[in-house]
Amino acid sequence: MKAKYQFIIILIIISSCGLIIGNKQKIAVDATFFIGSKQYIWEDPDRLDEYYGGTRKVNVQVWHPANKTTSSSLRTPYLLFGEKLYNQLEGWSEKDYKSVQEAKTASLIGIPIKDNLMKAPLLIFSPSLGGNLSYYTYYAEYFAKQGYIVMGINHLYESEAIVADDRVYPANHSFQDSLKLLKIPEDISAEQYRESMGARQKILAQDIQFSLNQLLANKSIGSAIDTSRIGIFGHSVGGAGAVYCSILDKRIKVVINLDGTPPSVALNNGIDIPYLFIEDLTDYKNHEGYGIQYKRRSDFCELNRADSWRVLIKGFNHNSFLDVNYYLAENSSNAQSEKANLDKVISYMDDFLNHYLLGNNELTLVPIESENLEIIRFDKQ
C-alpha cells in the first residue's frame, strides 16, 4: 500500500445483512463463532527457487473458530508481521503504518481453536502480485465466523513482503518485468508468454501445497480439518496459482478465481472440479482486446469437466476485491460502498461453497444477463 493513500480508519462492522445473488436475496448467516488467528513463518528446505535462488519461504495466517472468551488477548493486527515490516516497505510513512495497525479486525491472536470442533472445512487463499494476505482479512474473518478454518499465504518475492530468517524479503518482480519487455509476437508468441508466466504460477501453487501439508501436520489445527472439504480461492496471480494448485493437488475440491487469468496448463486442458470466476464486466462486445479475453475465459469454462460459473459485475475493477479499500476508506460513504462490493463478492462465494463444497442442495446462483451483471453457468451434470 503506497503513501498516496490518505488513511482514515473505518471500524469494521460485521453483522448480518441482505446480500443480492442474481435476482434473488440471500440473508447472511448470523455470526456463530468467535475467531482466533495464528501466524507462521515456514520454509521448504526441499524446494529451491529456480529463478531467484534459495529455498522457498512463506508467511501464513490462519483464522479459526474459537471459544467465547473474555480474555484480554490482543486483537489481531491487520497487517501481518507489521511491526517487522515497518521502515522496510517502500512508500510507507510512520503515519501510514500507525493508521493501518489501528484498523479493527474481528479476531484475537493466539487464542486456541474451539474445543471439540467438529471436522471443519478448510478455505485457502493466495493474494495478487505485490499484494498481501492481510488485504483479504474481511473474507477470512467472514468464513471463519461460519465455521471454516481459513489459511492465507504470502509468497516469497510475489507478495508485498515476507519475514523470515530475522529479515524482510521485499517483493521482487524482475521475472515478470523481464517478460513484459518482450514484444508479442515479435519476440514471443502469446502462448509462449502464458506458458512462461505459468511456470512461475506453478511455484505459487507448490507454495500453497507445501503450506497445506504444514497446516495438516500442525497438532493444534490439523486434526480439526475435514480433508474431504478443502476449497481454494485467489486474486489475480493468486487466482492463477489457486487454479494451478487444484491441478497438482486432488485434495482441493473447489476453486474460486477473483479476476485472474487461469494458467496456460488449465486453459489448454481444463480442470476437474467446480469452478467460480468473479470478475469485472468489461465492454467485451465492442472492445477487441476484452473480447479476446472474454472468449478465452469462457472457452476455459466450457473445457472444464465440472460445473463452472462466471460472475461479471459492472463497475468493478481489479482492486475492487481488496478489503484495504474498505478498512482505510477516506469517508463513511466510501467505506459503505467498498463494504457493499465485498459483501457482493462474498455472497457469490458463500453460495458456491455451500453447494459444491459443503454439499447443501440449495443453490441461489442463477444465470442472468443485464447491463450491470452477467452470471453464466457452464453445466456439466
- Band (pLDDT 50/70/90 cuts) for residue 22 is very low
Phi, psi of 63, deg, nearest 5:
-110, 140
Closest by Cα among 337, 162, 179, 355 to 254: 355
Q: What is the pLDDT of residue 117?
A: 86
Looking at the whole model, is its pTM more than 0.85? yes
Closest by Cα among 143, 151, 150, 138 to 32: 143
Q: What is the pLDDT of residue 381?
A: 67
**185: alpha, beta or left, given left = phi > 0 and alpha = psi -120 to 50?**
alpha
Angle between the N-to-C axes of helices 332-356 and 137-145, in degrees from 0 to 180, rounded to the nearest 10: 50
- Band (pLDDT 50/70/90 cuts) for residue 341 is very high
- Residue tagged 472492445 (cell numbers): 287
| Structural domains present in the chain | 30-309 (3.40.50.1820)
Q: What is the pLDDT of residue 17?
A: 32
Identify whether the C-beta of residue 252 lies closer than 8 Å to the C-beta of residue 353.
no
- Band (pLDDT 50/70/90 cuts) for residue 162 is very high
Closest by Cα among 105, 115, 49, 99 to 76: 105
pLDDT tens digits, 212-226:
999 999 998 999 999
